Structure 1
């Protein structure tokens, strides 16, 4: 896969200032509701109503906080101290306990043989930014007893055009994935895909700009027949051995 590595962008303390507001994290927003809902449903499918979760590339805690609220034991892993500080502040405000670990989710994860440390590994909107997605998926698989849940932008969608436009105009470039290649990468880690759902027929950025959950829901339902060109593939896989 192409060598794309955006970790420096997300290490900047200045980014954290407007990060949650820009992505509507913590609001009653269509995008976050759909994303978090998918991850919760698949984790429950893999691990049941309780267990331990490692959130790889946790950011300011969109998934970590959601799982902690449900009573899961959560470890938030991220390479940005500023992101983790924001996550911890939000957890304290809600009286939640989340273990945090700072490090590069590709380069700084020990690859020596060891027993899986968590029931499920999750990651949202991270695979598109890392230097080596295959290594990250392998690390997720290694740390999970039951399976993994992740998402990734699809090549078979307008996302590919947007990424190309950004590369020409100096914006942040991210990686898009071929569905089959992504499924094969997961399979090579000894995992069996149990769900692969293309979601967000309209661009995620449009939903965030609309900021109208009811409108976004109606639009997506109307365009469901075009889901084959949806922007993002959400994927869950279980351990086979």
Structure 2
């Protein structure tokens, strides 16, 4: 039976690659905010040769299923769960790949960018926890044995900026939001252990610069099949290693 994976940030360079690659083996529900992902085929975007239309129609059964949602809205988070359960009947993996990287600025100028700072902190640190909580409330909390059987888990895509301070880049609030996500991931693992839900975070260096986007996807696949929980992994040229 194919695993069911929910991916946020499906329109981003990482989220789109996760959806595209994992769709070969997983049923994918991709969540995007504004821009419709066009880097891969979905129920909304399909490319095909008219001469092989029948083959493409068969393929469409395993295409990523896209849903537009605002992760800052509780009703939209609930709708993500409802759509996923209605379409696939279960949720095995949540990959929080959505991120707000729009605000970079020195902290002394924060007062004039309050809304941007609040949005960044919310999307990067709070929204992943709220979405995981909605999964627990509507599906996972009464299914501990199935959760263990299907090795269900949460993977939060963080950043090396949540582990180190890089002066001169104006990353204060971005860094703080990712550091918060790292600690929240460890708390998720601790609190969800009694219902057999694992949680881990990945902190890649810049991609596709220092490392390839594919390396981040590889790490997601590795963690999904592992038994790791409560770990924060640095991912750089040397590979993946736990930082806690």
Length-normalised TM-score, structure 2: 0.48
Q: Which has the higher contact order (CA 8 A, sep 6+)?
A: 1
Length-normalised TM-score, structure 1: 0.49
Larger radius of gyration: 2
